[in-house]
């Protein structure tokens, strides 16, 4: 897998202004190296020459995307299945304004955005239009709901992952964010809403502390 790093930054409104902290646009490419691919292609061609094609050739079913551990549906609790050959991870800031990188971002198979970062209202030229997955913090939930026509109803193909402290995500009726998410998904049943397990959150907390030296 190869990774290309671009100095591309994402537009994000904040009370009428823009945040000024720098962010990055990363493109991940999961393709195999050319030597391995050429060798496989040669082997396949030799095999095809030996095998006479028939009308009863069996079609190979497309495999299901792999399960991503630690992410489960808010209603059915099924695990998240998702795989991207190329992925554009666009973090939130105001530096993308005027960059005209939207088309480049949209070329990735999957585009990941954060919280309520906009793609409409004239931003598409700079930040792109597509969103495959949107990661939303509990503290941004109200802003997302206020912009639900743009963010939630824009595409039924978008996956939404919500995260928050374990006390907010409790499933015993006392988790405020969890309860609101279930209600939202009942009102909008076609919405693909997932939450992060507390075990996965512990891993993220440890990673955050390792990278920044701070506890969240």
- Taking a C-beta distance cutoff of 8 angstroms, is the pair 68, 81 a contact? yes
Whether 169 contacts 70, CB under 8 Å: no
pLDDT tens digits, one per residue of 122-134: 888 999 999 999 9
pLDDT in tens, 93-112: 778 888 899 999 999 999 99
Q: What is the pLDDT of residue 29?
A: 53
pLDDT exceeds cutoff 70 at 4: no
Cβ burial, residue 215 (10 Å; 0-12/13-18/19+): exposed
pLDDT at 28 over 50: no
Measured between its terminal Cα atoms, the distance across the chain in Å is 31
What is the C-alpha to C-alpha distance for residues 185 and 171, in angstroms, rounded to an integer?
15
> Per-residue pLDDT tens for 169-193?
988 889 999 999 999 888 888 889 9
Of 25, 135, 3, 154, the closest CA to residue 82 belongs to: 135
Mean pLDDT of the chain: 76
């Amino acid at each position: 897998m190869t990774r290309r790093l671009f100095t591309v930054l994402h537009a994000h409104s904040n009370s009428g202004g823009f945040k000024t902290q720098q962010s990055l646009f990363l493109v991940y490419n999961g393709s195999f190296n050319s030597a391995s691919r050429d060798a496989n292609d040669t082997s396949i061609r030799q095999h095809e020459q030996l095998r006479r094609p028939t009308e009863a050739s069996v079609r190979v079913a497309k495999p299901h995307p792999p399960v991503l551990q630690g992410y489960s549906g808010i209603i059915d609790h099924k695990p998240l299945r998702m795989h991207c050959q190329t992925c554009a991870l666009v973090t939130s800031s105001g530096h993308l304004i005027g960059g005209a990188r939207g088309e480049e971002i949209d070329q990735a198979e999957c585009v990941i955005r954060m919280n309520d970062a906009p793609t409409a209202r004239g931003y598409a030229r700079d930040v792109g239009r597509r969103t495959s997955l949107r990661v939303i913090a509990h503290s941004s939930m109200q802003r997302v709901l206020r912009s639900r026509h743009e963010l939630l109803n824009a595409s039924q193909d978008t996956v939404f992952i919500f995260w928050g402290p374990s006390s907010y995500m409790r499933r015993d009726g006392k988790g405020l964010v969890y309860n609101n998410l279930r209600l939202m998904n009942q009102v909008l049943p076609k919405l693909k809403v997932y939450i992060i397990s507390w075990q996965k959150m512990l891993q993220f907390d440890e990673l955050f502390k390792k990278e920044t030296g701070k506890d969240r």
